Structure 1
Amino acid sequence: MYLRHLQVTDFRSWEHADLPLTPGPTVLVGPNGRGKTNLLEAIGYLATLSSHRVATDAPLVRHGCERALVRAAVVNDDRELTIELEITPGKANRARVNRGAVGKPRDILGILRTVLFSPEDLTLVRGDPGERRRFLDELLVLRAPRYAGVRSDYERVLRQRNALLKTGGKRKGQTAQDPYALSTLEVWDSHLAAAGSQLLAARLDLVADLAPHVAAAYAGVAPDSWPAKVAYRSSLGEALPAGYGTPEGERADADKLAAILVDALAAARQAELERGVSLVGPHRDELELILGETPAKGYASHGESWSFALALRLGSYELLRSEAGEPVLLLDDVFAELDKRRRSRLAEVASAAEQVLVTAAVDEDVPEELSGTRFAVSNGEVRHV
């Protein structure tokens, strides 16, 4: 898989950019603040319908403009598709494939697959659990696009259930619980368990499959460090069947997990009513990152944290590549952050990729292995050099 062409209009700082692309390495070089990252962000948005930098669409649209447009030609197994997204904050975004409208933007998911490594990835190790859940879910959607709908359904049901808990709970200042809200909670319990069990099962299987790739990638970039492991910690606790989420265990059974979730929600009912929030489900889970026998967060050095972040992305790349062909690799200004060994390992993987796009402030930051097509980025222009 590779991008043959990228075009953006009113996206971030770009009034317009038109970038012809080829397989192999492509390097975008220019001073910081000139829009290099914005171009990689646009590519990543086409692949995931989300940004690695912001949580909402509004910052993606150039100041003073109503909408942004991102278009790319994607070649996969000698078949070319043109995908296009119109991003309009406050309204529904619109997507097209080969100039024809599709039902929902998420219908384009799977056409382009990317793995992006950026300085922001340090938060995967040092940030809160939400960062790691997001990492899992975005990788899950890249692996199987249908889970975008499952994730959306779960989040919708969770919002509704939390609203009922706030309405029905008897807390300080309230005289009684709302009987109507209480009577409908069981219905929402079943909805939450139905969507949550699918998401949970998929995450558990993903972690089981990803774990060996992450361990191998970490050993490659930090051979003198403790071994790295990833593990899934569920809010179900000991009720989660043994072996789920591990390479040696059985595949997760969504039907079995749904029944367990329903029981767990019933057991947590009083505590949830008192707090007005759902305490059980995938939204409360954690991807544990472990070095040796200790958690990476709070214990890993700066170099070890970078190594783990890199291992998560390289592991993702290897997993996707092993299942359905190579994704496009996006490396956003990361070589300047890495020491010689980590730079060398990343360059080794990147140079073998079908297509890799690299951004750097200066030529010296880019390893020789990636000296392919080069573009200079400055003053609102992208120029081939």
Structure 2
Amino acid sequence: MFVRELHLSDFRSWRSADLELTTGPTIFTGRNGFGKTNILEALYYLATLRSHRVSADAPLVHSGATSALVTATVENSGRELTAQLRVNAEGANKASINGGPPRRAREILGILRTVLFAPEDLALVRGEPGERRRFLDELVAQRGPLLVAARSDYDRVLRQRSALLKTAAAALRRGGDQAASVISTLDVWDQQLADLGGQVTAARLRILAELTPHFVDSYASIAPHSRPVTLHYKAAAGTDVIGPGAATTPAEIGTVLLERLAQLRDREIERGMSLVGPHRDDLDIVLGSDTAKGFASHGESWSLALALRLGSVALTRAEGIEPVIMLDDVFAELDAARRRMLAAFTADTEQLLITAAVAEEIPAEIGGRRVGVDVIDDADGRRSVIVGSAAHNEAVPVSSVPVSPVSVSPVPEVPTSEVDAEGTP
């Protein structure tokens, strides 16, 4: 699988960009803040309907514009599809496939499969539970739109149920018809939340079971002398009732969630929030006998984060799909040994897209094309532009002098955001 063409309009710092890409490595170089990462972010958004940097759509739209347009033509085993997504600063996003509009934007999911490595990946180990939930949900999302629909519907029900909980206590104190209405409405929301929560959690458990052996193998190759690792799903409803050896199917998990919602109703009304469900779950990354967060060293944390991404690549390859691998300025964060390991792992990748502020940080064994990225800041505003391309070891012209954008044709030698309705617990 590879992206043959990418067109951007009003996406972040890019007023306009037309890129012709091919298989093999392409390295975008330029100073920090010039817009290199925005190219990878646009592709990642197309693949997952999420940004890896922000949780809302408005920052993705160029200042002064009302929407951004991302269009990519993807080739996969001789089949070519063009996916287009209009990202609106306000309101629902719109998508098209080969020029025809699908019923929902999420139907473009699966056309492009990517794995993105970024400096933010350290938060997968050291960050809050929401980061790890997002990681699992993005893996699920790339399996197709049906699984994403359950999460979207779950978030909608969660918001409505949470809004009711915030007013429930006062209504119950007043008693009478208002109290009866609150209870009956909560019963309805509880059933829907449990049903949809069962689907979301079951999908996460399935993807985690498939990912874990790849993660274990990847970590062993990165840190062969370290302690053994594994992954455990940590359900807010209780790991003794949800997970391997307990409830794993949507129906089984839904039954458990409905029971827990009934048990916790008084506490939820008191606190005005939903206390159980996949929006409160976590992924435990276990190093030896300890949870990595709080125990892993800096080097171990980077190795674990890298192993999660390498495991994601292996997981996608196990489906018979070669994902587009994107490395967003990660070589600056890795020591020499990990740089060499990552270069060796991606050597046979069908398409490898890399950003780097310092080209010398890229391992010498990675060839490909260097594509320069600069910015123009004039009366029309600040915007990113492509300023040149060169084969490996040739100079790339990067200048602060205003230039016109040009199409770049590398040669063969060489992705609707969703936010947790109640935030992170």
TM-score norm. by structure 1 comes to 0.94
Distance apart, 1:175 and its partner CA: 5.7
Q: Which residue of 1 aligns with 2:115?
A: 115
1:6 Cα deviation after fit: 0.8
Q: Residue type of the partner of 2:44? A: G
1:370 aligned onto 2:358: no
Deviation string, structure 1 residues 318-352 (Cα, Å, up to 9, x no partner): 10111141111010000111011211111111111
Give the equivalent residue in structure 2 for 1:247: none
Matches within 5 A, 1:67-78: 67-78=67-78
Counterpart of 1:381 in structure 2 is 385
Is 2:292 the counterpart of 1:292?
A: no
Question: 2: CA distance between counterparts of 1:219 and 1:267?
Answer: 42
The CA distance in 2 between the partners of 1:228 and 1:286, in whole Å, is 17
Q: 1:264 corresponds to which residue?
A: 260
2:187 maps to amino acid: E
Alignment of 1:1-385 (within 5 A): 1-169=1-169, 178-237=179-238, 239-240=240-241, 243-244=244-245, 252-379=248-375, 380-382=384-386, 383-385=388-390
State the alpha-carbon separation in 2 of the partners of residues 233 and 135 from structure 1: 14
- How big is the shift at 1:273? 1.4
Q: Is the 8 A contact 2:107 2:144 kept in 1?
A: no
Instruction: Give the length in aligned residue pairs.
Output: 379
CA contact (8 A) 2:205 2:243 kept: no
Give the match's secondary structure for 2:5. Answer: strand
Q: Secondary structure at the match of 1:351?
A: coil
CA distance in 2, matches of 1:224, 1:169: 55
Contact 2:109 2:143 in 1 (8 A): no
Query: C-alpha deviations, 1:149-205, integer Å up to 9, x for none?
Result: 01001111111111121221259x966583311121111111011100011111111
**Could you tell me which amino acid in structure 2 is paired with residue 378 of structure 1?**
D
Q: Distance in 2 between matches of 1:352 and 1:251?
A: 40
- How many percent identity over aligned positions? 53
The CA deviation string for residues 209-235 of structure 1, in whole angstroms up to 9 with x for no partner, is: 111111111111122222221110112
- SS of 1:143's partner is coil
Amino acid at match of 1:100: G
Q: CA deviation at 1:13?
A: 0.8
Cα distance, 1:251 vs structure 2: 9.0
Check conservation: 2:324, 2:350, Cα contact below 8 A.
Answer: yes
Letter in 2 for 1:42: A
> Is residue 9–residue 69 contact of structure 2 (8 Å, CA) maintained in 1?
yes
CA contact (8 A) 1:143 1:320 kept: no
Q: Secondary structure at the match of 1:205?
A: helix
Between 231-240 and 250-259, report the one with greater CA deviation: 250-259
Which amino acid in the other structure matches residue 38 of structure 1?
N
How far apart, CA to CA, are the structure 1 residues paired with 2:85 and 2:154? 24
Structure 1 runs of 4+ off > 4 angstroms?
173-177
Q: Any conservation in 2 of the 1:29–1:375 contact (CA below 8 Å)?
A: yes
RMSD: 1.8
Between the aligned partners of 1:51 and 1:238, the Cα distance in structure 2 is: 30
**Partner amino acid for 2:341?**
R
CA distance in 2, matches of 1:325, 1:242: 28
Long gaps (5+) in structure 1: 245-249
Measure the CA separation in 1 of the matches of 2:272 and 2:242: 28
Q: Secondary structure at the match of 2:51?
A: coil
> Is the CA contact (8 Å cut-off) linking 2:6 and 2:73 kept in structure 1?
yes
CA distance in structure 2 between the partners assigned to 1:89 and 1:241 by the alignment: 38
Structure 1 letter corresponding to 2:215? V
> Retained in 2: the 8 A contact 1:239–1:260?
no
Counterpart position of 2:401: none
Q: Offset at 1:238? A: 5.0
Equivalents in 2 of 1:238, 1:46: separation in Å? 34
**Cα 1:51–1:5, aligned 2, differ >3 Å: closer, same or farther?**
same
CA contact (8 A) 1:170 1:273 kept: no
- Structure 2 distance, partners of 1:175, 1:343, is 64
8 Å Cα contact 2:8-2:14 kept in structure 1: yes
Alignment match, 2:395: none
- Measure the CA separation in 2 of the matches of 1:103 and 1:200: 25
TM-score, normalised on structure 2?
A: 0.86
**Aligned partners of 1:170, 1:8: CA distance in 2, in Å?**
50
Residues 283 and 352 of structure 1: CA distance in aligned 2, closer, same or farther (over 3 Å): same
What is the letter of the counterpart of residue 179 of structure 2?
Answer: D
Distance across 2 between alignment mates of 1:251 and 1:321: 28
Corresponding residue SS for 1:214 = helix
1:270 to partner: Cα distance: 1.4
Q: In 2, Cα distance between the equivalents of 1:112 and 1:241? A: 32
Question: Does the 8 A contact of 2:83 with 2:108 survive in 1?
Answer: yes
